[in-house]
Structure 1
Amino acid sequence: MFDKQSKAVFAYSSEIVTALTRLIEQGQAAGELLPGDPEATGWSYFSYVSGLGMINHDADDNLVREFVDRGCRIIGLLRRG
């Protein structure tokens, strides 16, 4: 029914995830991110952020901090200090 639109959205999403994947690979190589499949991590993070954008428009500061913390966990951001 929406085949053309679905393909366009997937192509656009894939471009973003490709860029995220490169950033994740660089972060892993630098020891800033935990090891793991960079592409799967990129899709997971992209999906998380996309979902938040659709459902959370008026989150308070504490909730936003929780969202950021969980996003960092998805990509394996190592906390220092």
Structure 2
Amino acid sequence: MARSLLPLAATLLLSFTVLSASAADAHHSSASTSSDVRVEVDAQREHLTGANTVKTQGTAGAQTVLDAPVDTADAPSGSEKK
């Protein structure tokens, strides 16, 4: 009895996975070109990850780290050999 139900159960499970996979792929997008799709996907990703709520601070002037002179007082001289 169980041996005759095994192909039926396997077929049933396979059809459920195929149906769920095809339902997941049936996303109807309003975008028509690939660049529109990319913009839509980027917006969804930013929304899901919370990246759209992060505030970025703008740089008004020059970076102080980049403008600071490099201190080489403790550097070895070029004539030293190892």
Structure possessing the higher relative contact order (Cα contacts under 8 Å, 6 or more residues apart): 1
Give the TM-score taking structure 1 as reference length: 0.29
Give the TM-score taking structure 2 as reference length: 0.29
